[in-house]
């Protein structure tokens, strides 16, 4: 029985717009801190003079920022079953947004506050850890929330997430193009996510007032229908035959010798219906264990882990340090355009292409081979004009070469991630799709964390 037949309309696609904004809001912290790497490096990597010798302390901001952004995601992915049962959804979503807003305000205020480099680095790293911790809670909560609505709203939510990076890159370009001094430009840049987070909070509060959202998110009605369907499998018994079963099969068996666990009752139309016991239903619908599900999806789990391991090992820790071969005014825009804007647009395009093209197929052995082949992007990007460098030569000094590598790098990342995440639930029974999704989310976070950790040695090798 489907409840969507009597659902009120989504007037003006307002619920869709809200979930797009919510998707955008979940990834604002990661993208705004990442895109502002030049601002942070400018405040941290200052030359000091010691006994007449110029000394520059290296903070490896991009590496630490990446690691401390992804570890909270892995941590809360492991803790979500405990956390989500003890804290209400409204508290998790609204509370996370409020704390994220306060931390963004703190970051904006610090733009105008003079501070010694070590202390500024420590405060910034703590801010990144906590703001991404709240972002991880927010993301997990909203994924659960949007899962209660029709499937197209999940696609809208993920589209909002996919464009968060582009939004941050455009905000940085506008800040640079404003011709304001560096402090004012940075202040305007960090005010933008404050406004965005506030809009996200208002959007969430508005959601509960919309009839369409109330219809799907009303847990009491949802559970009432679900329980009725679970306990009363309305399979009509005619001519002594049972024409339905809890697991969807159509067995034929007489009802004269029905067991105590199965009873017949007369329905209003005079036919007899079989009501299966909860024990029988559970026996037919029992979910497979986590190990059994993992055995079926381990290739996809490996693929999503490997894709993000490769991506985060060089982006942005290595790519953000590439320098243009055309010094001048273009130098101010180079990283924002050729690194962040190109990556985010093509990553989004790669994810979108999967709605039209799905190659290789999920059973193909070529799929993991192509995923592993992305490892070639690590040396390619390390051999671009990364500065400063100590060991490797520069083979791709031209801006066009770096931009072309970034296009292929980001396009393949979005494409293979989306394919891996969509293929995994198709490899298991429908009743185990939720377990497969949870496992894939864990391995996604694992890949992000491994990639962030590997960024330290890869940047040191350049």
Give residue-wise pLDDT tens across range 197-252. 999 999 999 998 888 888 888 754 443 333 333 333 333 333 333 333 333 333 33
Give CA–CA dist 287/283, Å, rounded: 9
The class of domain 287-462 in CATH terms is mainly alpha
Structure tokens at 413: 């990342």
CATH architecture of 12-217: Up-down Bundle (1.20)
Structure confidence at residue 243 (pLDDT): 34
Question: What rounded mean pLDDT belongs to the chain?
Answer: 82
pLDDT bracket for residue 55 (50, 70, 90): low
Sequence-separated (6 or more) residues with CB below 8 Å from residue 119: none
* Whether pLDDT at 319 is above 50: yes
Sequence-separated (6 or more) residues with CB below 8 Å from residue 332: 176
Structure confidence at residue 245 (pLDDT): 35
Kindly report the pTM of this predicted structure.
0.78
- Asked whether 424 and 437 are in contact (CB, 8 A), the reply is yes
Q: Which residues of the chain are in CATH 1.20.1250.20 domains?
A: 12-217
- Asked whether 455 and 67 are in contact (CB, 8 A), the reply is yes
pLDDT bracket for residue 301 (50, 70, 90): very high
- Asked whether 447 and 308 are in contact (CB, 8 A), the reply is yes
Percent of the chain with pLDDT over 90: 46
Least confident span in 110-119, 150-159, 397-406, 423-432: 150-159
Rounded to an integer, the average pLDDT of 411-424 is 91
Structure confidence at residue 380 (pLDDT): 97
Structure confidence at residue 56 (pLDDT): 67
* Whether pLDDT at 43 is above 60: yes
Q: How many CB atoms lie within 10 A of CB 366?
A: 11
């Amino acid at each position: 029985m489907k409840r969507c037949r009597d659902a009120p309309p989504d007037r003006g696609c307002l619920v869709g717009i809200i979930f797009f904004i919510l998707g955008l809001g979940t990834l604002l912290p990661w993208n705004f801190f990442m895109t502002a790497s030049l601002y942070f490096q400018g405040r941290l990597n200052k030359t000091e003079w010691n006994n007449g010798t110029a000394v520059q302390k290296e903070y490896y901001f991009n590496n630490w920022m990446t690691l401390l952004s992804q570890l909270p995601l892995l941590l809360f992915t492991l803790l979500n079953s405990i956390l989500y049962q003890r804290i209400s959804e409204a508290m998790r979503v609204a509370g996370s947004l409020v704390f994220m807003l306060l931390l963004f305000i703190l970051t904006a205020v610090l733009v105008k506050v003079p501070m010694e480099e070590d202390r500024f680095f420590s405060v910034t790293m703590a801010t990144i850890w906590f703001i991404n911790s709240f972002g991880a809670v927010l993301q997990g909560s909203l994924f659960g929330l949007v899962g209660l609505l029709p499937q197209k709203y999940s696609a809208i939510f993920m589209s909002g997430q996919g464009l968060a990076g582009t939004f941050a890159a455009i905000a940085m370009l506008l800040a640079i193009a404003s011709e304001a001094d560096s402090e004012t430009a940075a202040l305007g840049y960090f005010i933008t996510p404050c406004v965005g987070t506030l809009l996200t909070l208002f959007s969430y509060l508005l959601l509960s007032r919309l009839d369409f959202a109330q219809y799907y998110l009303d847990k009491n009605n949802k559970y009432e229908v679900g329980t009725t369907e679970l306990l009363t499998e309305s399979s009509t018994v005619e001519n002594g035959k049972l024409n339905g079963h809890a697991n969807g099969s159509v067995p034929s068996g007489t009802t004269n010798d029905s067991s105590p666990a199965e009873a017949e009752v007369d329905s209003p139309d005079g036919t007899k219906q079989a009501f299966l016991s909860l024990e029988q239903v559970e026996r037919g619908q029992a979910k497979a264990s986590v190990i059994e599900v993992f055995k079926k999806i381990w290739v996809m789990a490996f693929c999503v882990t490997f894709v993000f391991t490769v991506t985060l090992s060089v982006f942005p820790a290595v790519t953000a340090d590439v320098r243009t071969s055309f010094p001048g005014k273009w130098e101010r825009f180079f990283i924002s355009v050729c690194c962040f804007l190109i990556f985010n647009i093509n990553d989004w395009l790669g994810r979108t292409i999967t709605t039209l093209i799905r190659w290789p197929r999920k059973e193909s052995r070529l799929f993991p081979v192509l995923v592993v082949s992305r490892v070639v992007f690590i040396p390619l990007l390390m051999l671009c004009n990364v500065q400063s460098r100590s060991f490797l030569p520069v083979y791709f000094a031209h801006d066009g070469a770096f931009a072309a590598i970034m296009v292929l790098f980001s396009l393949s990342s979005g494409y293979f991630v989306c394919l891996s995440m969509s293929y995994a639930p198709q490899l298991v029974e429908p009743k185990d799709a939720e377990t497969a999704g949870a496992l894939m989310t864990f391995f996604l976070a694992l890949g992000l964390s491994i990639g962030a950790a590997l960024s330290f040695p890869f940047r040191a090798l350049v």
